[in-house]
């Protein structure tokens, strides 16, 4: 092989070598970490909630069901959630039933509570987000648990605590 045909070959090999060396010195920047999965909406997955029989003490009924994550419930320790309205149904219940926008079927505050838990989409408390209150409580709370919840909540108002 003549010297004339070898020289360009050497140049090409050297150039390639240099390029490769530069690449390994300067590895492409790793992609930025994905945004942290913190959602502005509180999520409560059904798997996180055990069945509530209604034989538990009232505090346990609420805490097992996860209501305190989103609601203030008077008399229930740690129940100071702010996602949904404070559960002062002795005060707010009559307001909901009298609301011209109310489309549910309840005639009493007790029934309004039951309805709100079983069919939250029927009426959205004004000023609070729709599609946030879980829709699967009918499968988690026994009729007894739901009765106790409603009986408890209909007695809680802005001035009463028990």
Residue among 17 and 121 whose Cβ is closer to ligand HEC: 121
Task: Give the helix ranges, DSSP H, for the chain.
Answer: 3-25, 58-65, 89-98, 109-118, 143-153
Q: Any idea which residue has 């609301």 for tokens?
A: 99
Residue among 5 and 39 whose Cβ is closer to ligand HEC: 39
* Distance, CA of 145 to CA of 113 (rounded, Å): 12
* Distance, CA of 87 to CA of 75 (rounded, Å): 11
Residue among 74 and 84 whose Cβ is closer to ligand HEC: 84
Residue among 12 and 95 whose Cβ is closer to ligand HEC: 95
* Distance, CA of 75 to CA of 58 (rounded, Å): 10
Secondary structure (3-state) at 73: coil
Least Å distance between CB 106 and ligand HEC?
A: 10
Least Å distance between CB 35 and ligand HEC?
A: 22
List residues binding ligand HEC (CB under 6 A). 42, 44, 65-67, 69-71, 83-85, 87, 92, 96, 113, 116-117, 120, 124-125, 128-129, 132-134, 137, 149
């Amino acid at each position: 092989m003549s010297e004339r045909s070898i020289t360009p070959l050497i140049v090409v090999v050297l150039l390639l070598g240099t390029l490769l060396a530069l690449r390994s010195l300067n590895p492409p920047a790793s992609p930025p970490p994905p945004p942290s999965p913190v959602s502005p909406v509180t999520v409560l997955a059904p798997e996180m909630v055990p069945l509530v029989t209604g034989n538990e003490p009232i505090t346990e009924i609420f805490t097992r069901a996860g209501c305190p994550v989103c609601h203030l419930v008077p008399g229930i320790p740690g129940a100071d959630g702010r996602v949904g309205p404070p559960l002062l149904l002795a005060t707010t219940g009559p307001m909901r039933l009298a609301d011209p926008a109310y489309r549910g079927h309840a005639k009493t505050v007790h029934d309004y509570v039951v309805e709100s838990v079983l069919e939250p989409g029927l009426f959205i408390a004004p000023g609070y987000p729709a599609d946030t209150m879980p829709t699967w409580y009918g499968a988690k709370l026994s009729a007894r648990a739901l009765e106790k919840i409603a009986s408890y909540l209909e007695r809680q108002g802005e001035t009463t605590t028990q």
